[in-house]
A and B are shown apart, each in its own frame.
Chain A
Amino acid sequence: MKSKDKALYLAILFFTAIVWMITAISGGGAGEFFLEITADGKSIKSVELSGIEPGASITLHEGGGMNELLISGNAVRMISSDCPGGDCLKMAPLVSERGAIVCLPHRLVIKLRRKDEDRNSGGIDAISY
């Protein structure tokens, strides 16, 4: 085999390996979170957390009442609500796409989602509780 043929073989193999790695890696990275707020089943607000200043709050007027969310870093929690019972205020802060803050009286569901969550990675699809 000529030395130029060898060099061409190696170049083709190297190029193929690079393409393969790009294909394998693309879409495999962790997506950024965004905050999705639904009221009565309809999405009313979608906020990218990366664009929010830490300590910012979001006030919602839905379902005949008021709720206020606090965003601190990558965590979101309910800090104020005039709903009866105030169960939403006792819910754990959201830090991942798992779990939700729910205000049943105001029919609000607040969740964190990844931009690429529909890609269906090898994670958990749902949690039984």
Chain B
Amino acid sequence: MRHKTSPGIQTFLAFLLSAVFAAGLFYRLSAGEGLKMNTRSRESIAMDTVVRVSVTSDKTPEELDGILDGVFELIERLDGKLSMHNATSEISLVNANAGREAVRVSPETAEVLRSALEITRLTDGAFDPTIGPVTALWQAGDAKKTRHELPSDSEILEALSLVDGKSLKETAPNEFYLAREGMRLDLGGIAKGYVSAAVRNFLESAGVESALIDLGGNVLAVGSRPNGEPWRIGVQHPLQSRGAPICSMSVENASVITAGVYERFVEIGGKRYTHIFDPRTGRPIEGNLLSVSVVAADPTIGDALSTAFMVMGENRSKLLLKELPGVETVFVSDKGSTPTVTATGGIIGLKVLNRASVNAERHEEQR
């Protein structure tokens, strides 16, 4: 005999089917499938490091590939202007004409140099784009030119006498002049930040609203994840192998740029010296700071500040941070058996992940 369903169960079935349909629709839309979102990533070697760019948009994969072509062309073009290792770059031309004449540069190079001078002023010389003679003396990070003995005091003083941000002048619009022969610009502490900002501008003008730009560990999060959540960015553990994070945080429309003593170094007589130099002493920095990560909307500023904060140390950096609204930091310091993570109050969703202690007063969340 056929079972006849009651009106109550018919209503229940209708409600259930509607709920399942609505849930399915919501799931598809929230996953981006309803908008046919596509993601394309590309990884290559540029600026002497590994560059990875991932973009998501409702454009076709072919269109996104074209945008990525443009991104890597842009990076190569800017690197060709800013690299001091390229003899024909604009920076090399300024260096070659130090003490002789001003050199006209492109608006992009001029913008980087103006930002560098601004950070030099702001940090009272802890960041200095004219650090070139000192880095050349120590030859840090260059495996082909490893030193076998420490530079002498007189060599350091001689190099130091050529480090002076105030002697870099913009004599006319987009014309720059180094006042003394032998002076040498080194934009290693700011160029990648500027280039990642240029890539962001390029992507936004192309209509890409969600992207992740990683220039050798200088990370810039454009928008949010494709699913609408904030990006999760980790900070490298200074005592563990590459890829092991010590903590992570949530970011949207911001860069996370880290300077650390562990990343590049020069080995002299069996001892490692970091590649970060104090522009006022001409020597590798000392102290218990292992790394500083700067979170800022402007990656050019974030890049230069991360280096400056390593030179300034935690306490002086915190004083300056009070004058920099919107700039947040994560300090990793060596204060005992495990590294200590100290984050400023504006860091969102901080999670300490990996064999570290944390300053409990300065974070919002920890595992």
> Does A109 reach chain B (CB closer than 8 Å)?
yes
Q: Which residues of B contact A (CB under 8 A)?
A: 3, 5-6, 8-9, 12-13, 16, 20, 27, 39, 42-45, 48-50, 52, 72, 143-144, 212, 214, 217-219, 221, 225-227, 231-236, 241-245, 248, 256-258, 260, 263, 293
Within 8 A of B (CB), among A92-129: 92, 96, 98-100, 102, 104, 107, 109, 111, 118, 120, 122-129
A sample of 4 more A-B contacts (CB under 8 A), given A12-B16, A126-B214, A129-B258, is A5-B6, A16-B16, A41-B44, A109-B50
Check B42–A126 contact: CB distance below 8 A: no
Cβ–Cβ contact A128 & B5, under 8 A:
no
Q: Are A38 and B144 in contact (CB under 8 A)?
A: no
Contacts of B52 in A (CB 8 A): 126
B234 in complex: contacting residue of A16, A19, A122, A124, CB < 8 Å? A124
With known contacts A41-B42, A100-B242, A126-B214, A9–B9 Cβ distance under 8 A: yes
A window 1-20: CB within 8 A of B: 1-2, 4-5, 8-9, 12, 16, 19
Chain A to chain B contacts (Cβ below 8 Å), 10 pairs: A38-B44, A96-B243, A99-B244, A102-B50, A104-B49, A120-B226, A126-B231, A126-B234, A127-B233, A128-B233
A87-B45 contact in complex given A9-B12, A128-B218, C-beta closer than 8 Å: no
Complex CA distance for A128 and B200, rounded to whole angstroms: 17
Task: Find chain A residues with CB under 8 A from B257 CB.
Answer: 128
Contact B258 A109 (CB under 8 A): no
> Is the CB–CB distance between B243 and A127 below 8 Å?
yes
Rounded to whole angstroms, the CA-CA distance of A16 and B24 in the bound complex is: 13
When A and B form their complex, which 9 residue pairs have the shortest distance between CB atoms, in order from nearest? A99-B243, A41-B44, A98-B243, A92-B241, A129-B236, A85-B143, A129-B217, A127-B234, A128-B256
Assign chain A's interface to a size class: 35 or more
B342 to chain A, nearest CB (A): 16
**Residue on B with the closest CB to A98?**
B243
Q: Tell me if A65 is interfacial: C-beta within 8 Å of chain B.
A: no
What CA separation (Å) do A108 and B13 show in the bound complex?
58
* Residue pair B236, A92 in contact (C-beta under 8 Å): no
Contact B236 A127 (CB under 8 A): yes
Q: Which of A4, A41, A99 contacts B242 (CB 8 A)?
A: A99
Taking the nearest CB of chain A, how far is it from the CB of B302, in angstroms? 10
Contact B217 A128 (CB under 8 A): yes
Chain A, residue nearest B293 (CB): A128
Residues in B neighbouring A8, C-beta threshold 8 A: 5, 9
B212 to chain A: closest CB distance in Å?
6
Q: How far is the CA of A43 from the CA of B242 in the complex (A)?
A: 22
Collect the chain A residues with CB atoms within 8 Å of residue B44's CB.
Answer: 38, 40-41, 109
Interchain CB contact under 8 A, A122 and B50 = no
Contacts of B293 in A (CB 8 A): 128
State whether A40 touches B45 (Cβ < 8 A): yes
CB pair A41–B43 under 8 Å, yes or no, is yes
Chain B contacts of A104 at CB under 8 A? Answer: 45, 48-49
- Judged by a CB distance under 8 angstroms, whether A84 is at the interface is yes
Residues of chain B within 8 A of A23, CB atoms compared: 27
CA distance A127 to B246 in the complex (A): 10
Contact of A85 among B43, B49, B144, B219 (CB under 8 A): B144
- Do B232 and A125 touch across chains, with their CB atoms under 8 A apart? yes
CA distance A16 to B12 in the complex (A): 13
Task: Give complex CA distance A40, B43 in Å.
Answer: 9
**A128 to B244 CA separation, bound complex (whole angstroms):** 10
Q: How far apart are the CA atoms of A40 and B42 in the complex, in Å? A: 11
Residues of A within 8 A of B43 (CB): 38, 41, 109, 111
Which residue of chain B lies nearest to A27 when distances are taken between CB atoms in the complex?
A: B31
Whether A125 contacts B212 in the complex (CB less than 8 A), given A12-B16, A96-B243, A104-B48, comes out as yes
